[in-house]
Structures are given as structure tokens and as C-alpha cells.
Amino acid sequence: MLRITDARTGEPVDAAPARRGLTRVEAHVPAYDTSALRVLLVADLLVRALELGGTPVWALLTGGREQAELHAAAAALGVRPFEDRRDVGPGWGESQVVHVVGERGAVPDGVRVAVAPVETAGVPEGVDPAVVRLALLTPRRSTPARLDAEALSAAHETLVRWRRAVAAWARHPSRPVPEKVRGRLRTAWEDDLDVPEVLRALRWVEESELPEGARFETYAYADRLLGLDLTRDLGAPA
């Protein structure tokens, strides 16, 4: 069961209703900037984690200015579409609502997931959006993220290495994800969306002696949460 820390109280709460009813995830951003993108990215992770646990989700965006630019930048980062809150009526039977918020803008009532801002002078043109996504995923969401040359270089190096490894592992017979590894991954993301621990688990798998097919399936499974397109290079020349 996914549990999330409510920023109002500091206490963990269930993000999914006890009876597996609908959860509404609502991202709140006042305008388009990189910190707003991080709010949407965390909301996207929350939606993915809930869906992996079998919870139906309604994803909404409450925003202010530059919505077209925000939607376009979020799509480039692999954030799945959020409905505009202005285009829908009141909730239809959801039994849980989780608001994902940054440091600016209105503070809604209800369970709140707080996201720290992004410190950046701008992202260079031509950078793979998945590199930016990984750089934003690497620190805990409560810690300010830096999108500087060092962070982007480290994310690029990791992403290239992992995609090459996944493509190589895919050439071997498939093996199931080991239950111990699956349990470690799920425990991490169901514990307040601890994505840094998910990334640590993948680094352990990368260096382990698990069969190549099991390592491939592990990365493909984790990427359902991370959204890094880790299987992109399948079939590419070795």
C-alpha cells in the first residue's frame, strides 16, 4: 500500500483508498518554470505508483499562466497528460484526493505532497529530456534539485550506461524479476515515493551477478515507474 507524507501534518497517510476506490491526484502550479515541471513530474510518479498498485487515478492540473508551454514541456519529459481542472466538473465519486504542490501558489485543503524547487540557470538545448527527468528524480522531492552541468552530466552518463546494458541483457533468455528485488523496489516507491532508493536498487542490480534476463526484466519493471525509456535501444547494434 502506497503511503505518502502529508506536508500539513508530517504524518504518513494512505494514498490509495482502503477499498481501492478512485484517487484524484491534483497538481498545483501557478505558472510555467522548471520548479513547476518538477511538481508535475512528482505528480506523474504518484499516478504511476498508484496504477502499479491497482488503484484507478484521475489526474488533474490546476494552474495559472503559460499552461500551453507547461503541457508541452511536461510531455517532453514523459509526463502523461493531466486534465485541466477548469475543464471538468466536481469530483465523481473519488474517495481520496492528493494535492501535489510547490513552494508558490495557493495551498489547498486536504492531503498535500510538497515538492522542493529547482535551482537552474536553464537547460542547454539538445539535452535528452530523459536526462533532465533523471536529474530531477535523483534527489528526494523534499530537497531542492540542481540542474547544473554536473547534475546533467551524471544523469546522461547513467542513462546511456543503463540503456546500453538493458539492450545487451535483452539478448539473453528472459528470467523473472527476483522476488527479493521486486520487493525492494515496491517497498521503496510505496514508502513516500522514495525514488532515490529505487535508483540505488537498480545500481545494485546492475553490478550484481543476477542472470542477464532477470536484470533486463527488473529494469523494464522499474521503468514503469521511472518513465526513463530504458528499453529504447533494444535491437540497436552492439
> Using 50, 70 and 90 to split pLDDT, how confident is the model at 107?
confident
Whether 91 shows a pLDDT value over 70: the answer reads no
User: What does the pLDDT read at residue 94?
Assistant: 61
Question: Structural domains in the chain?
Answer: 3-115 (no CATH), 153-226 (1.20.120)
Q: Cα–Cα distances in Å, from 113 out to 42, 84, 116, 127, 170?
A: 9, 19, 10, 28, 37
User: What does the pLDDT read at residue 83?
Assistant: 86
Share of the chain above pLDDT 70, in %: 91
Whether 225 shows a pLDDT value over 90: the answer reads yes
> By 3-state DSSP, what share of the chain in percent is helix, strand and coil, each rounded to 5?
45, 15, 40
Whether 44 shows a pLDDT value over 90: the answer reads yes
User: What does the pLDDT read at residue 96?
Assistant: 85
pLDDT (mean) for 45-57: 94
Q: List, for residues 113-172, the tens digit of each pLDDT value.
A: 999 999 986 677 788 999 999 999 999 999 999 999 899 999 999 999 999 999 999 999
Q: If you average pLDDT over every residue of the chain, what do you get?
A: 89
> Using 50, 70 and 90 to split pLDDT, how confident is the model at 84?
confident
Q: What is the pTM of this model?
A: 0.92
Q: Cell numbers 506523474 label which residue?
A: 44
CA-atom Rg of the chain in angstroms: 18
User: What does the pLDDT read at residue 238?
Assistant: 60
User: What does the pLDDT read at residue 124?
Assistant: 74
- Conformation bin of residue 43: beta by default, left when phi > 0, alpha when psi is -120 to 50: alpha
> Using 50, 70 and 90 to split pLDDT, how confident is the model at 108?
confident
User: What does the pLDDT read at residue 105?
Assistant: 63
Whether 20 shows a pLDDT value over 80: the answer reads no
Question: Which three cell numbers mark 21?
Answer: 476506490
Whether 235 shows a pLDDT value over 80: the answer reads no
User: What does the pLDDT read at residue 86?
Assistant: 65
Residue type, 207: E
Q: Cell numbers 521486486 label which residue?
A: 182
